[in-house]
Amino acid sequence: MKRTRESTRSPYSRLPAALALATTVTLACGTVSAAASQPSAPQAEDHGADKTASALSDVIPAPTSVEPERGAKFRVKWNTGIHAPRGNAEADRVARYLQQQLRPSTGYGLLINRGSPGRGDMVLSLDGSEQRLGDSGYRMDVDKERLTIHATTSEGLFHGVQTLRQLLPAEAESGSPRHGPWKVPAGEIVDKPRFEHRSAMLDVARHFFEVEQVKSYIDQIAQYKINYLHLHLTDDQGWRIQIDDWPKLTTHGGSTEVGGGDGGYYTKREYAEIVDYASTRNITIVPEIDLPGHTNAALSSYAELNCDGQAPPLYTGIEVGFSSLCVDKEVTYRFVDDVIREVAAMTPGRYLHIGGDEADSTTEEGYRHFMSRVLPIVEKYGKTPLGWHEYAKAEPSSDAMVQYWGTSNSNEEVSKAAERGNEILLSPANRSYLDQKYNEETELGLDWAGPTTVRESYDWRPGSHMNSVPEEAIAGVEAPLWSETLTTSNEIEFMAFPRLPAIAELGWSPQSKHDWSSFRERLAGQAASWQEQGIDFYRSEQIPWPED
């Protein structure tokens, strides 16, 4: 159910989602997408000023290895095709995605073929020669005759396409025809991620965001090779996901938000739409049902979940720590079982986040008892528990993941969890929380862990950030974006950019590539692309932005 107030624009969507997933038709020239059989936009001829393509190394996240070559650059022209492996639906999807990205700006047809690659084609190659790069890595070879992305999986191809987008002139991101030429520098890129888990988080509980707004954010984070989106679906201010067995969670608990707005929630169909859309961008959705605290919306919806049997009023403020499910009532565990069962059934990803943070109104003994009952429920429904670091004291099984959000470099429970074999996901609030103000003058955001500059978001080392936690225990990094002060897509973007690319680089690039001087220059180069996409961003004084 969508809220009644008008949604903000979805800045990045250029073509309908259906076009990206269009069925294919066979033509004499080969198999192309149905979209490709339609008349294209007027072709943008190459009679304008020569737009200088980015150097191979001017990419975020920084690639593992770059070998530039002198000589002519590859050029996308009116007769350039996209070659995809025959009989591979996932690779075909990546080809259609690339076609969708470049058609509006170039005006070219960019037909997809599965025969022999032609001269001047962009080639997506799936072969076994790049096993060293794993499922996510890729190799890109560029010369005057051809541009080829090699990978072992479609995920690797997709990541290579994100690099290609940055190597083209920024005008390639435009939603309308622009003048070329569309050149890519020659050379070789060999690239793979440092950490498997590279995540962003969007809080849709404090303020609700429509399906299209979430899709827009998915598109934006996918550019930087983020592969998980953690959705904070429940909190004191709102319950945002349909649960059939407990309908008042959304009809009542989802009816407001911070400041007293209309709120809203996702039906199961809408949630599935988000999950499916994210999968086309190689992003896995991680749903969070925050328990046992942060539950006022649920407590207000069902009186029996309260120890005194009295439902509190809905809450529209931003304080924390005052709510708790009644951990001594059996109905609480029937409720949790129903919720986890329904959420797990509509979530294909491995993880289900159960929160566990700031449960200040739950006794220590009650908290441990609650987790001892709830963690097996998560596993019963085929999911791996993930929770904020407070739940580590309940000693979850070694398969569970612990997410650290503290501001210090040490935490005894996190260290013990790592010793037990739990993977640790890092999102230190003073480094990676995107809702923290940039400086004292920033109108949006909070400052309890900040302000946090762009450099502070970038200049830390995940592998050695936590004392007594070895790098091999680190699953990756996450950039959470809490929405107490955010109500529009523009505001999401303003707080996420340019800090989200900083966290993305920490998750993807090897430590040897970590260099603030290089990063700030490469980050400045992203501005033109963001402007073409309509992405709002903060012009930090730490970054040498180009003059408008």
Percent of the chain with pLDDT over 70: 90
> Could you report the per-residue pLDDT of 204-242, keeping only the tens digit for each?
999 999 999 999 999 999 999 999 999 999 999 999 999
Task: Tell me: pLDDT of 47 over 70.
Answer: no
Task: Tell me: pLDDT of 253 over 70.
Answer: yes
Residues 86, 88, 89: CA angle, nearest 5 degrees = 125
Q: What is the DSSP string of 101-155?
A: HHHHHH-----EE-SSPPTT-EEEEE-GGGGGGTTT-EEEEE-SS-EEEEESSHH
Residue 115 is predicted with a pLDDT of 86
CB atoms within 10 A of CB 472: 8
The tokens for 248 are 């008042």
Average pLDDT, the chain: 92
Q: Are strands 82-83 and 122-126 parallel, antiparallel or unpaired?
A: parallel
Task: Tell me: pLDDT of 31 over 90.
Answer: no
Q: What is the DSSP string of 207-263?
A: S---HHHHHHHHHHHHTTT--EEEEE-EETTEE-B--TTSTHHHHTTTS--GGG---
Q: What is the DSSP string of 44-86?
A: --S-S--PPPPPTT--SSPPSEEEE--SPPEEE-TT--EE--T
Residue 49 is predicted with a pLDDT of 41
Catalytic residue positions, numbered: 358
Task: For CA atoms 476, 482, 487, 493, give the dihedral sign.
Answer: negative
Lowest mean pLDDT of 39-43, 206-210, 288-292, 405-409, name the range. 39-43
Q: Which amino acid, residue 311?
A: A
* 183: DSSP letter: E
Residue 17 is predicted with a pLDDT of 36
Residue 54 is predicted with a pLDDT of 66
Task: Tell me: pLDDT of 295 over 80.
Answer: yes
Q: Which long-range contacts (CB under 8 A, 24 or more apart) does 89-92 make?
A: 90/153, 90/154, 91/124, 91/126, 91/154, 91/157, 92/24
Contact of 112 with 92, CB cutoff 8 Å: yes
* 319: DSSP letter: -
Confidence category of residue 128, pLDDT binned at 50, 70, 90: confident
Distance CA 408, CA 294 (A): 23
Confidence category of residue 548, pLDDT binned at 50, 70, 90: confident
Confidence category of residue 498, pLDDT binned at 50, 70, 90: very high
Domains of the chain are 17-191 (3.30.379.10), 197-516 (3.20.20.80)
Distance CA 150, CA 157 (A): 7
Residue 336 is predicted with a pLDDT of 99
Average pLDDT over residues 37-62: 59
Contact of 499 with 471, CB cutoff 8 Å: no
> Could you report the per-residue pLDDT of 502-525, keeping only the tens digit for each?
999 999 999 999 999 999 999 999
CB atoms within 10 A of CB 276: 13
Distance CA 376, CA 388 (A): 17
CA 399 to chain CA centroid, Å, is 23
| pTM of the model as a whole | 0.92
Side-chain half-sphere CA neighbours of 373 within 13 A = 19
> Could you report the per-residue pLDDT of 255-293, keeping only the tens digit for each?
999 999 999 999 999 999 999 999 999 999 999 999 999
Percent of the chain with pLDDT over 90: 87
Q: Which amino acid, residue 530?
A: W
- Of residues 418, 361, 425, the one with CA closest to residue 387: 425
Residue 406 is predicted with a pLDDT of 98
Residue 70 is predicted with a pLDDT of 87
Task: Tell me: pLDDT of 375 over 80.
Answer: yes
Lowest mean pLDDT of 128-142, 144-158, 325-339, 487-501, name the range. 128-142
Residue 2 is predicted with a pLDDT of 42
